[in-house]
Amino acid sequence: MFQKRFTLPLYQIAALLFGLKTYIMYRFMFNISLDNTMQEFILFINAIVSAILFFTLSVWFKERRQMKFIRYGALIGTLILFFNLVFYRNFNDFITIPVLFQGSNAADLGSSILTLIKWTDVLLFTDVVIIWYLSKKHVQTLSVQHLRKGKIAATAFAIALLAGNFVLAEIERPQLFQRSFDREYLVKNIGLFNYHIYDAVLNSKAQTKRVFADGNELTEIKDYINENVKSNEQSDLFGIAKGKNVIFISVESFQSFVINNELYGEEVTPFLNELIKEDSSLYFENFYNQVAQGRTSDSEFLVENSLYPLPSGAVFFTNAQNEYNAMPEILGDYGYYSSVLHANNKSFWNRDIMYKNLGYDYFYGEEAFEVTEENSIGWGLKDKPLFEQSMKYLQSMEQPFYTKFITLTNHFPFELDEEDATIERYDSNSNTLNNYFQTIRYTDEAIKQFFDQLKASGLYEDSIIVIMGDHFGISENHNQAMSQYLGKEITPYEQTQLQRVPFIINIPGYDGGKVISDIAGQIDVKPTLLNLLGIQPQNNLGFGIDLLGKQKEDFVAFRNGEFVSDDYVYSSGTCYDRQTGEALESQSDVSTQEKPSNVCGPIKKQVEKELSYSDEIIYGDLFRFYNFENK
């Protein structure tokens, strides 16, 4: 019936049928958000390209095996799509390998699985039936037998297509592979099958490092911490907030340079400027963010664990299965109910998985909020409605609670509706910086409004409110505009100073408020908060200090090995005097210099040691060998 010269070979038919089906599923059965035509295009081609690559591999087999490869390939591929679809209908997320082995998730699915399958799902197997039939009945006409050259050419062509797909993906979402971001982004850009391969590689890398660790390393690390980091003297404020709720607000891209600063004669953040002056507030003016590629998620990791994030990739993705002894877990042992309120896709930064592992009781993600065209901008729900809509959750929450808000409006590219703008735009060559003042002013107002609501609801008196910037919003690319605004040149020293983010602890009823100038970092948040709450786990392991206690560790380390110490700032290979900003010495590697003037060298060595200890803990999943006693 089939004339060889009129028909495509089966592997090409299969690639087209299967590729189109995959695209149709992405588009109409999964709920993948597409923001522009480029994304739409990438979604379409990644479906087709993956199918072409896979089915092209069949040309390496002889006739019968070729047919077998194609029909089983189509069947298994369809089953993978189908399982993902069922999983997606329940969790609104794609399957990841660790999740498959996580009892709770599978059990969740087990009971509801029948309600998640629709009878129309049978149609998903239409192409499999066609391919199966053709592969059995038309072996001769539909198989191909290329010479070696032909096989190589066909495979090379398919690989070139895949490379083209990856290039487009990288253009659409720079650093997609290094930073991982979100499963939806990965699927959207490289397709479900490539995503599964990527996920498998990421996991096996983490697993290999884990397998060779045995916990002996911990003794050395513990000694280091006792000797160099922790101080044993308790702060005067120990327990001052005992039993209070903790409301932690992680403010997106909030940098300290706007605090107590003006734009065209107007305060940028009037509410927060007032708040830090209050007797009930502690404000740390030299508090630095310490994040790496995992951005917001890295800042969360630092805060919850007092461990450093990883040098590459987001630890929320790479080591979400580790054993931790995070703040929500510790607070849980003291009767706290913990939750996160963040109106974004739950799987962003792998939060849905990581939060459970950190001990969070509940995550109010995007679907917990009413998000409309009118009340959202840029990345999603605006900060004012976020807080407004959260009040009902806070009011019905079991107390004491530990609750983390993550704001969104002040996120790059800092978009804001005209009617929400209450300060002028800046005028420079950087639109990013120009917009920034308006969005951070908006967030300042949102926090003010939230404080009013907390007071009106009676929750304020029973809580402490912590406000922290997660990381910078204005990158080095905008240094010219930044230098225009600040009225000074942005040297590497200033660049480091720009890594300061606000850290405010407001303790209603307390009247010893002050501005604290000691250097501090996100790594110090956990011990500081726990001490205020009167909690001091005996054998806690972390690299931060209680900022209100007798200090020990005297530097703030950045992930790239740079640091700020009491006296020096080490940035871009140069050692600066911290007070004057004057360069002290400049050489590519200060640690190799033995001269007495080499003041940054010894600190740099210790910073590197500390970072590598933290990495050892994470890569080796060392806490699984450690017995934490939180009470």
184 binds, among Mn ion, ligand GP9, none (CB under 5 to 8 A by kind): none
Query: Which residues 347-366 are close enough to bind ligand GP9 by CB under 6 A?
Result: 348
* 71 lies in the site for ligand GP9, by CB under 6 A: no
Closer Cβ to ligand GP9, 203 or 344, answer by number: 344
Q: Is 411 annotated as a binding residue?
A: yes
Closer Cβ to Mn ion, 238 or 436, answer by number: 436
Q: Is 252 annotated as a binding residue?
A: yes
Dihedral (CA of 488, 470, 209, 604) sign: positive
Catalytic residue among 96, 269, 296, 528: 296
Residue 495, token pair as written in the block: 């660049």
Query: Shortest Cβ distance from residue 348 to ligand GP9 (Å)?
Result: 4
Cβ atoms of 118 and 13 closer than 8 Å? no
Residue 577 DSSP code: E
DSSP string, 505-553: EE-TT----EEE-S-EEGGGHHHHHHHHTT---TT---S---TTS----
The H or E element spanning position 612 is: helix 600-619
Query: Shortest Cβ distance from residue 528 to Mn ion (Å)?
Result: 21
Query: Which residues 296-315 are close enough to bind ligand GP9 by CB under 6 A?
Result: 296
Closest residue to ligand GP9, based on beta-carbon distance? 295
* 470 lies in the site for Mn ion, by CB under 5 A: yes
Closer Cβ to Mn ion, 295 or 526, answer by number: 295
286 binds, among ligand GP9, Mn ion, none (CB under 5 to 8 A by kind): none
**What angle is formed at CA 379 by the lines to CA 526 and CA 195, rounded to 5 degrees?**
85
Q: Is 196 annotated as a binding residue?
A: no
Number of residues that bind ligand GP9 (CB under 6 A): 7
Cβ atoms of 576 and 569 closer than 8 Å? yes
Q: β-strands 245-251, 401-406: how paired?
A: parallel
Q: Is 471 annotated as a binding residue?
A: yes
Residue with tokens 């629709």: 118
Cβ atoms of 408 and 254 closer than 8 Å? no
Residue window 407-436: x/- pattern of binding to ligand GP9, with contact defined by CB under 6 A: ----x-------------------------
Q: Interhelix angle for 525-532 vs 295-305, to 10°?
A: 40
Helices (H), 29-147: 37-56, 63-91, 97-100, 103-116, 126-137, 139-142
Query: Shortest Cβ distance from residue 474 to ligand GP9 (Å)?
Result: 13
Q: Which residues of 124-147 are buried (b: 16+ CB within 10 A; e: fewer)?
A: bbebbeebbebbeebeebbbbeee
Residue 215 DSSP code: S
Cβ atoms of 454 and 465 closer than 8 Å? yes
344 binds, among ligand GP9, Mn ion, none (CB under 5 to 8 A by kind): ligand GP9
420 binds, among ligand GP9, Mn ion, none (CB under 5 to 8 A by kind): none
Q: Is 296 annotated as a binding residue?
A: yes
Closer Cβ to ligand GP9, 46 or 344, answer by number: 344
Closer Cβ to ligand GP9, 191 or 378, answer by number: 378
| Residues in Cβ contact with 330 at an 8 Å cutoff, skipping those fewer than 6 apart | 359, 530, 535, 537, 630
Query: Shortest Cβ distance from residue 191 to ligand GP9 (Å)?
Result: 23
* 344 lies in the site for ligand GP9, by CB under 6 A: yes
Closer Cβ to ligand GP9, 252 or 329, answer by number: 252
User: Is residue 296 among the annotated active site residues?
Assistant: yes
Residue with tokens 């409006």: 409
Residue window 243-282: x/- pattern of binding to Mn ion, with contact defined by CB under 5 A: ---------x------------------------------
Closer Cβ to ligand GP9, 244 or 295, answer by number: 295
* 295 lies in the site for ligand GP9, by CB under 6 A: yes
* 96 lies in the site for Mn ion, by CB under 5 A: no
Catalytic residue IDs: 296
Binding residues for substrate: 411
> Contact positions toward ligand GP9, by CB under 6 A?
252, 295-296, 344, 348, 406, 411
Binding residues for Mn(2+): 252, 296, 470-471
